Amino acid sequence: MNEELITINTAIIAKEKGFNEKCRDAFLDGASVNNVGCSAIDDLLTNKDLHKHINNNSYSRPTQSLLQKWLREKHNLIVEPQIYNTEKYKLYYAVGIVFTESLEKEFLGPNDKGINFQLGKMFTSYENALEAGLQEALKQIKQ
């Protein structure tokens, strides 16, 4: 069992929104590089061995859970896929709540100081629903 890494599309949006946390993995020139041994994308830019392969098309590649935590702690954005059971299938849909004020200790409903979003599409895996939710949450960040 492995933790799921984000896709390049999510990595691009995350970088645009200021994500620059310590990660083992990255996208360098569009290719996935695992275990680069650097902390954040800024460290990659100063690594002499990798420098010749780096340009502006390089992105940190965190796990979905790390990006989910960053969104929650830095931007008060919570993304949690929900399960929808049918008689034959277990489907997932991406939902989240965007808090407009600081986090409350209790869950806030759709009409309480937050804006819920739900993507209309259903997904066949939790990870696919989470990826879609992470992208949607990143789009909510104002710069």
pLDDT in tens, 99-123: 545 444 334 444 444 445 566 677 7
Shortest CA distance to 75 belongs to which of 4, 142, 3?
142
Tracing tokens 């059971």 back to the chain, one arrives at: 85
Q: Measured on CA atoms in the order 2, 134, 69, 113, is the torsion positive or negative?
A: negative
Q: Report pTM.
A: 0.74
Length of the chain: 143
Kindly indicate the confidence band of residue 77, based on its pLDDT and cuts at 50, 70 and 90: confident
104 in a structural domain: yes
73: containing domain: 66-140
Q: What is the pLDDT of residue 43?
A: 58
Q: What is the pLDDT of residue 125?
A: 84
The number of folded domains in the chain is 2
> For residue 83, what is the domain's CATH number?
3.30.160
Last residue of a domain, one of 39, 61, 83: 61
Bridge partner residues of 123 (DSSP): 92
The verdict on 135 and 107 lying in the same domain is: yes
118 in a structural domain: yes
10 in a structural domain: no
